[in-house]
Structure 1
Amino acid sequence: MSDLHELTAAQQLAALRAREVGARELTEHYLARIDRLDSALGAFVTVTPERALEEADRADAQLARGAGGPLCGLPLGIKDLFATAGTRTTFGSAALAEHVPDGDSWTVGLLRTAGAVLVGKTNSPEFGATCYTENDVTVHPAVTPYDPGRYASGSSGGAAAAVAAGLLPLAHASDGAGSIRTPASTCHLVGVKPSRGVVSPAPGSSFFVTTTEGPIARTVEDAALLLDVMAQPSPGDLYGARPAESLAGAVARDPDRPLRIALWTDTGLDGVRPHPGAVDAAERTAVLLRELGHEVHEIAVPVPYTEPVQQAITAWFASSVHAAATALVPADRQPLLRPYTRHLHALGAKSTGLDVMGMQAVLAGYASAFLTALDGYDVALTPTTNGPPVPIGHYFRDGVEAEPRLMLDWSCYTPWVNLTGQPAVAVPSHLDDARLPYGAQLVGRPHRDAELLNLAAQLERASRWDLDRRVLGSR
């Protein structure tokens, strides 16, 4: 079968269990595509063919016995911000280019136990700090296959590029301010940021947990299959909350009632208008939702980005980068950090404990105001990005101090969801006249992940998303 990558992950898993295809055959198919296509895409930092084929052979032996976990034999990539035992994990940093962890992160361990065949590490910006994926480890930024002159966003840009180009059936990713959802949008894919606590963060990371891991996939069902495996809280997780039902099971049915949906396209930023394509993405999605029987109410942006909120967001990233760089990078290797990373590292180093507490208070108030404003709705609907995928080099034009605002102008619809802890799904909307992709974002109530995925799957069944992707995946 030469078109294995055209099958969804769910279809591939069914074929593996039926012994219609072997795990080695499937893994070799994807490794060949990576070898042939990735030099122009920048999707991978590290590829591990020998180890992947060993894992595939073990999966074949398990499948022959009628055994194996829920992902047994399925090739998968791991975002390069997460530890993989025996495989280098660079965190997107040249300062850590040879770093090889001794153990797996919690979620990587779950994916291994489920039988996934790990083929390598997908590209990420340094410490995940930007909404574009370019670093000094790889020679090529991660770009969208729809236009290789444009970024696949970030920080899960490599994961999205790999899935969109048929280098992986689906991918592990993570989201700290939109880092699953905006790459999914640039690559015409589905990306899921689960509720806070559904996927466990690194042990002892912070009381102020905003980042979570999740899937990027071609279909809602595929995303739910991966998320079901990841949604197993680790012992001691302060926010751990296992979903009440299988998320893959939830996507198979329609919502059991009409949902009340709030729609806005305002950016919340003074002087920044919504891009016409972004407005079109949200409005197209609203039309489909109304046709499916849901109530869609247009509202103003619930809470704008005031100057204190923008400053707090920058301080939030600066404190995270400072902590990561201090913990991971020896002082003599810190000159290898990229200019923007050094800028954030320096800002974070100047912050006092009182400054950090003040930043968290501003962002907590911002998040609380969002939850209050949306209390009468089941779901919020917005564009995912404020415009199409961004040309390579766009964020460098005005120096490092201007990068935060340039990134926020484009990714303004996503960070609030990380602060509130709600689940969110980025879904494809359309391709514009230049064949550039746009997406819409659906945000559910906290810990109603199954309801949100159920809605996204209903929307998918009523759409023509896959027709726009078929030629791309066949290359």
Structure 2
Amino acid sequence: MSDLHELTAAQQLHSLHTKEISSRELTEHYLSRIDRLDAQLGAFVTVADAALEEAAAADERLARGERSALLGLPLGIKDLAATAGIRTTFGSVAMADFVPTEDSWTSGLLRQAGAVVLGKTNTPEFGSTCYTENDVTPRPSVTPYALDRYSSGSSGGAATAVAAGLLPVAHASDGAGSIRTPAATCHLVGFKPSRGLVSSAPATSFFVASTEGPIARTVEDAALLLDVMACPAPGDLYGWRPAGSFTAALGVRRPLRVAMWTDTGLDQDVDPQAELAARRTADLLAELGHEVREIPLPARWEEPVRRAIVDWFAYSVGAAVQAMMLSDRTHLLSSYSQQLLSMSDALSANDVVTAQAVLARYASTFLAAIDDYDVVLTPTTNGAPVPIGYYEGEEADRMLRWSCHTPWVNLAGVPAISVPSHVDGLGLPHGAHLVGRNRHDAELLALAAQLESAGLWADLRPPVWEA
């Protein structure tokens, strides 16, 4: 079949179970598309040599009647997560030859569920930017809707691959919006879970902002992947288990109270298309019986908060370099990473603790302001996908201005999802951002599924889809 990528991940799993298709057929189909199309998309860092062997093994298990959750389904794993036997570069030429001997916790869960790992999706060096460009790959990750524009980051490769039909679904991670903004640029669903639902063990800090989650074409596919990823590791400081299956709970609905704002918190105008994404979503929510109320932005990006988040990112990159890399290889880092590393070296312990305190107060202000609401609605990004080279020399300022709506959610540890809204007159995608209560991930996914069923977004495909 030449159109296997038209099937959703859920449909592919059903067809695998009924033996209408084989895992090897699916894997060969996607590998062929990667081989033909990825040079112009920049979605993958590494394609796994053993993918066809894994698919053959999955077919044998299916023939025996086994029914693991993802058995035989191809997927990609972001290149910030270790994968045993598959090169893991963390987006850095300094790690270009690193092949882990063990899986990360979440990579292991996906493999144990029977997924066939096609390869590692592209990411910026140590995931430190909201665009995906590095010195490991010759091409940045671009949105398939406009090949001269970034698909955001740091999960840009994952979003590009799913949107272009190179993968049915993808593993991703999100430290300040890195699942949600790539989903928005690629007309996809991107879900950031509550803190602790997807394990970040082993713990490296009490201050946990990043988590892993799914990028998918449909809410059902995102829930399907999340069902596998939501399993706490032993010793996880924040780990918790959901009450049941996220996929099974997609139809559970009740009227919700929704707070909304579009204010960016910065001295800039709200992009008209970002405004449209939020308002058309608000209108549909009201039609569906939910109460939507526009409220003031709870906290602005004041200078101490901006400084604190830059300090925290610098410290995070510095800690990653110190943990993973020999000091004699730091000269291989990108200029932006070296800048962050230099900033990290200049930070005192008091500076790091102060930054965490400032960010904690900032996040608490949001939680207090929305305490009477079930959901928050904002744009996902303040504008369309940006052209390649847009951030050069002004990374910190321009990244914040474009992705200003997402970081507070990571700091607060609550769940959030970006869903497609519309494609503008230039053919560029825009997303709506929904934020839920802590550990109410199932309710948020069910709300997104309701919007999907009600037609908030059209089932659009980029030009490369038919290639």
Q: Is the structural similarity TM-score above 0.5?
A: yes
Name 2:44's counterpart in structure 1.
Answer: 44
Q: Which amino acid aligns with 1:205?
A: T
| 1:24 is the counterpart of 2:16 | no
Match of 1:277 among 257, 273, 279: 273
SS across alignment from 1:465? coil
Match of 2:338 among 342, 361, 375: 342
Name 1:263's counterpart in structure 2.
Answer: 260
Name 1:181's counterpart in structure 2.
Answer: 180
| 1:418 is the counterpart of 2:417 | no
2: CA distance, partners of 1:471 / 1:355: 48
Name 2:350's counterpart in structure 1.
Answer: 354
Name 2:207's counterpart in structure 1.
Answer: 208
Name 2:108's counterpart in structure 1.
Answer: 109
In structure 2, relative to structure 1, the CA distance for the partners of 1:471 and 1:337 (3 Å cut) is closer
Match of 1:387 among 378, 383, 405: 383
Match of 2:290 among 294, 316, 322: 294
Where do 1:37-436 residues align within 5 Å? 37-48=37-48, 50-251=49-250, 253-255=251-253, 257-269=254-266, 271-396=267-392, 399=393, 402-436=394-428
SS across alignment from 1:46? strand
In structure 2, relative to structure 1, the CA distance for the partners of 1:345 and 1:101 (3 Å cut) is same
- 1:244 CA drift (Å): 1.0
- 1:474 CA drift (Å): 3.0
Question: Contact between 2:163 and 2:462, CA under 8 Å: does it hold in 1?
Answer: no
- 1:325 CA drift (Å): 1.2
Q: Which amino acid aligns with 2:232?
A: P
2: CA distance, partners of 1:94 / 1:347: 21
1: CA distance, partners of 2:462 / 2:221: 16
In structure 2, relative to structure 1, the CA distance for the partners of 1:39 and 1:471 (3 Å cut) is closer
2: CA distance, partners of 1:239 / 1:45: 31
1:274-308, Cα deviation, whole Å (9 max, x unpaired): 10010000011111111111011011111111110
1: CA distance, partners of 2:207 / 2:418: 24
- 1:254 CA drift (Å): 4.5
Question: Contact between 1:173 and 1:215, CA under 8 Å: does it hold in 2?
Answer: yes
SS across alignment from 1:361? helix
- 1:372 CA drift (Å): 0.3
- 1:464 CA drift (Å): 5.5
Alignment coverage as a number of residue pairs: 467
1:399-447, Cα deviation, whole Å (9 max, x unpaired): 2xx3111100000000000000000010000000011000000000000
1: CA distance, partners of 2:134 / 2:140: 7
2: CA distance, partners of 1:465 / 1:206: 39
1: CA distance, partners of 2:249 / 2:183: 21
Q: CA RMSD in A?
A: 1.0
Q: Which amino acid aligns with 2:387?
A: P
Q: TM-score, normalised by structure 1?
A: 0.97
In structure 2, relative to structure 1, the CA distance for the partners of 1:472 and 1:190 (3 Å cut) is farther
2: CA distance, partners of 1:178 / 1:138: 22
Question: Contact between 1:384 and 1:439, CA under 8 Å: does it hold in 2?
Answer: yes
Deviates more, 1:314-323 or 1:457-466: 457-466
2: CA distance, partners of 1:366 / 1:162: 34
1: CA distance, partners of 2:459 / 2:235: 44
Question: Contact between 1:59 and 1:68, CA under 8 Å: does it hold in 2?
Answer: no
- 1:466 CA drift (Å): 4.4
- 1:202 CA drift (Å): 3.6
2: CA distance, partners of 1:464 / 1:377: 22
2: CA distance, partners of 1:128 / 1:404: 14
Name 2:35's counterpart in structure 1.
Answer: 35
- 1:469 CA drift (Å): 2.5
Q: Which amino acid aligns with 2:54?
A: E
1: CA distance, partners of 2:252 / 2:386: 35
- 1:333 CA drift (Å): 1.2
- 1:472 CA drift (Å): 5.3
SS across alignment from 1:395? coil
1: CA distance, partners of 2:324 / 2:234: 25
1:320-345, Cα deviation, whole Å (9 max, x unpaired): 00111122221221111000000000
| 1:437 is the counterpart of 2:429 | yes
1: CA distance, partners of 2:87 / 2:456: 39
Question: Contact between 2:164 and 2:464, CA under 8 Å: does it hold in 1?
Answer: yes
1: CA distance, partners of 2:232 / 2:72: 24
1: CA distance, partners of 2:316 / 2:335: 16
> Which runs of no fewer than 5 residues in structure 1 stay unpaired?
none
Name 1:449's counterpart in structure 2.
Answer: 441
2: CA distance, partners of 1:470 / 1:6: 12
2: CA distance, partners of 1:419 / 1:464: 28
- 1:204 CA drift (Å): 2.0
Q: Which amino acid aligns with 2:275?
A: V
2: CA distance, partners of 1:242 / 1:337: 38
Q: TM-score, normalised by structure 2?
A: 0.99
2: CA distance, partners of 1:222 / 1:362: 37
Q: Which amino acid aligns with 2:235?
A: G
Q: Which amino acid aligns with 1:451?
A: E
Q: Which amino acid aligns with 2:148?
A: G
SS across alignment from 2:72? coil
Deviates more, 1:160-169 or 1:465-474: 465-474
1:13-53, Cα deviation, whole Å (9 max, x unpaired): 000000000000000000000000000000000001x4000
> Which runs of no fewer than 5 residues in structure 2 stay unpaired?
none
1: CA distance, partners of 2:65 / 2:462: 32
SS across alignment from 2:187? coil
Deviates more, 1:63-72 or 1:155-164: 63-72
Name 1:3's counterpart in structure 2.
Answer: 3
